[in-house]
Each structure stands twice: as structure tokens, then as C-alpha cells.
Chains A and B, each alone.
Chain A
Amino acid sequence: VRMLKELLKGLWKENPVFRLVLGMCPTLAVTTSLENALGMGMAATFVLVCSNAVIAAVRRFIPAKVRIPCFIVIIATFVTVVDLMMNAFVPELHAALGLFIPLIVVNCIILGRAEAFASKHSVALSVADGVGMGLGFTLSLALLGTVREILGAGTITLWGDWGVKLSAGGDTIILFVLAPGGFIALGCLLGLMNHIQSVLARRRGGSFEPPAHLDCRHCVICKWGA
């Protein structure tokens, strides 16, 4: 039951993109098409699950003072593994994602989960957390990628041979495959997610309360120096 909870929280309640708003750099950069978004999501999920598992397994041996360098070495190792594997077996996708594969190292979702979860929980729970967060990340990217590809390029393409290829033809809103369109699409989807949550909460007869640690009212960053 606990494992299922940890797995499911990443999909909705603590969705890394839409609720935690983490990992924005790859989110905005690679979601110009559904295919790239899925590839990025799966690569990050692999790294997240492996690094969570290893970090949870060795968490008792790592001295607290040097834990971050140790986490980074473990994460970077798996990122390099993914990089080599993708280069060998899916070269087209590897070429399309380019620099963003090595940059998974600095994806704050992965270090964030290592620090906030894997270093404090058992291997099984950490794997569940990794799978959930990874899937949440992948689905969010896929959603954003779908919206941007349809609006911006008028197509939906999945891996060549067995994929779907729709093409509307005619003019498209090119803005959506460019960076500003990424921000606009992300903002609209964030607003939509919040709206759905508040509607669901109202239907249950309450009002929408974001988890305390994610709540603007409990965050003081913007009051610093004021």
C-alpha cells in the first residue's frame, strides 16, 4: 500500500512538472514534439529509478558531508550509460535530443529525489518513488509535447515505422514550437491543472489546499530582503 502510494503521488499529487515545477529546462527545451518528449521522459525515468535504487542501497555508507558529490557521481554514471545506449540503439532520437541527454545530470528532479527521498527511504520505496516521478515527468512532457506539436507543426509523429503520422497541412502557429510558445503552453497547462484540482476539491465539498510545503503562503523566498 505504501509503495503504491509513493508510486501514484508522482503522477498527480506531486507531479514533478505541474505540481513541483521542477526540471523546467528539459521540459521547455525538448517538448517541441511528442517523440522527443517521450524519449527525454524515458531517459530521465531510467536514470531516476537507477540512481534512486543505488542511492537508497548505499545511503548508510555515505557520510553526510560528502553526500552531494556522491549522489552526483552516481547520477552522472547512469546518465552516461543512457547516453551511450541511446547512441547505439536509437541514434536518430539521440541526435534529436543532443545536448539534453548529458544535461539530465543537472535535472533537479533527479538530485531532488535523491536528496529528499532516496537518501531517507528503503530501496523498494525509492524505486517506487522513482518510477512514479519518472512516469509523471514523462506524461507531463508528452502532454506538453502533444499540445506544442499539434499547434506548432500540425503533426503528431511517433517512431517512424509503427507510429501515427497525422498531418493537418496548412498554416500552423509556429510560435508554439519556439521557446516563448513553450512557456505559454506550460503556463496554460499549469493553470488548467490548478483549475481541475480546485473543481475536484469543491465537488468534495472543500476548498483546494495545496500541500503545505508547496504552498505560496508558506514560502518566504519572495519576502527575503523586503
Chain B
Amino acid sequence: MKNIAQLVGVPTVICLLAGLLLAWVHGVTEQPIREAKRKQKMAAIKKTLPAYDNQPDRTVYAVVAADGRTNALYYVASRNGAYVGAAREVTGRGYGGELRLMIGVNADGAVHGLEVLPGHKETPGLGAKIASDDFQGRFAGRSIRDTVWKVDKEDGAIQAITAATISSKAVTEAVAAGLAEYLEHEAAIRAAVGADAAAPQEERP
């Protein structure tokens, strides 16, 4: 009996102590993790939008589906109270798995910038080039309506990366889907300017 008590007791005590340590570390790192995430998001928003003077992640326009779930979150940017553009995150299915992008459009109805967010799993040296300024720049300045949002192999306007067609296509298709949705909601997004009214910042899961 003594033996069994020991076999059960020692691991129990170890697990308990491990749990306590983890609870403490979690408490210490929770805030920095949230700040790091926000900083990362803000950096991507800043790169994809024209100069603004509000806080786009506080001026959000949420597209809510019928079942109450948030489908998309637009970060609305303004300068001197006038709408200058909006950014949103889109996800695509790349060669190595899910990839997340931030796309920004300006008030003239053109794409201002595209940023592939860190954490994608595309092949280094091939598909990973989607995160290069060269590829991301192929989207900038193009009119949302007048551009065929497909890769050049499919008679689109975006020149795919050599030997990385799947990754290029994934990005282009994700951008196309995001832009199509933006056009649907454009009027409402423009109207969101000035609605800074401390909209609680929504966390996407």
C-alpha cells in the first residue's frame, strides 16, 4: 500500500507544482502577449494603409453574419476626420497550410498595400517569397474594380512567383475574396469614420 501511495503521490505533487508555476507564468506573460499581438497587427495595418491619424484598430467595422458571428473586421483609417482607407485580415490556403494576410485599400478604390503576416508555412526559398516586398508590391496601386484578381497563368493581372504558383494563387484568391466583400460593405465602412466611440476592441479567435 505504501508503495502505491508513493507511486501516485509523487507524480501528483509534481503535477500540482507544475500547474502552479504555469499559472504564474501565464499571469506574467498574458499582458505582454496581447500587446505584442496588437503591435504586430498595428505594424501590418500601418504598412497597408495610407497615412492616417486615428487608431484603426479602435475604429472597426464588423461584418456580422446572421448567426451573430463576426465574419470580418475592417480597420477603418481616417485623416483629419476624412476616410482614407480600410484594412482587413484575410486567410488563404497555401501550399504549406493556412496563411494570413493583411490587405489595405485606399479611398480611391485601389489596393494600397498587402502584407503577409508572420507564421505562414510556405516552402522557404520558393513559396515563402510571397512575403517579399517584390511580390507584395505587385498588388499595390491596383484598382479594386478594374483588376482581374487572378495570377497571370489564369489570365489575371498578378504575376505569380516562379515555381510557387500555388502560394501565389492562394494569396491572390484570398485578396480577391476580401476585396469582393469590401466592395459589398464599402458604404458602411466609409460611414464608420468618426465612430471611434470606444468600440470595444474585438478579439478574433
Residues of A within 8 A of B (CB): 32-33, 58, 61-63, 65-66, 69-70, 73-74, 76-77, 80-81, 84-85, 87-89, 91-92, 95-96, 98, 152-153, 172, 174, 177-178
User: In the complex, which residue of chain A has the Cβ closest to the Cβ of B13?
Assistant: A61
How many Å from the CB of B192 to the closest CB on chain A? 28
Residues of B within 8 A of A (CB): 3, 6-7, 10-11, 14-15, 18, 21-22, 25-26, 29, 32-33, 36-37, 39-40, 118-119, 121, 123-126
**Which B residues are CB-close (under 8 A) to A65?**
7
Interface centre among A69, A77, A96, A153 (most CB of B within 10 A): A77
Q: A84-B29, A174-B126, A177-B125 are in contact. Are A95 and B119 (CB under 8 A)?
A: yes
CA distance A136 to B7 in the complex (A): 35
Q: Is the CB of A32 within 8 A of B124?
A: yes
Q: Is the CB of A178 within 8 A of B125?
A: yes
Q: Is the CB of B11 within 8 A of A91?
A: no
For the complex of A and B, the 5 pairs showing the least CB-CB separation, nearest first, are A88-B32, A95-B118, A95-B119, A77-B18, A88-B29
Q: A63-B6, A77-B22 are in contact. Are A91 and B123 (CB under 8 A)?
A: no
Q: Can you list 6 A-B contacts with CB-CB less than 8 angstroms, sorted by A residue number? A: A63-B10, A65-B7, A70-B10, A80-B25, A87-B29, A178-B125
A88-B29, A153-B125, A178-B125 known, 19 other contacts, Cβ within 8 Å? A61-B10, A63-B6, A69-B11, A73-B14, A73-B15, A77-B21, A80-B22, A84-B33, A85-B29, A88-B36, A89-B36, A91-B37, A96-B118, A152-B125, A153-B124, A172-B125, A174-B125, A177-B123, A177-B124
User: In the complex, which residue of chain A has the Cβ closest to the Cβ of B32?
Assistant: A88
**Which B residues are CB-close (under 8 A) to A88?**
29, 32-33, 36
Q: A174-B125, A178-B125 are in contact. Are A85 and B25 (CB under 8 A)?
A: yes
CA distance A73 to B18 in the complex (A): 7
Q: A32-B124, A91-B36, A91-B37 are in contact. Are A81 and B118 (CB under 8 A)?
A: no
How many Å from the CB of B28 to the closest CB on chain A? 8
Q: Is the CB of A152 within 8 A of B25?
A: no
**Which B residues are CB-close (under 8 A) to A77?**
18, 21-22
Interface centre among B14, B39, B119 (most CB of A within 10 A): B14
**Which A residues are CB-close (under 8 A) to B15?**
73
**Which B residues are CB-close (under 8 A) to A172?**
125
User: In the complex, which residue of chain A has the Cβ closest to the Cβ of B117?
Assistant: A95
**Which A residues are CB-close (under 8 A) to B33?**
84, 87-88, 91
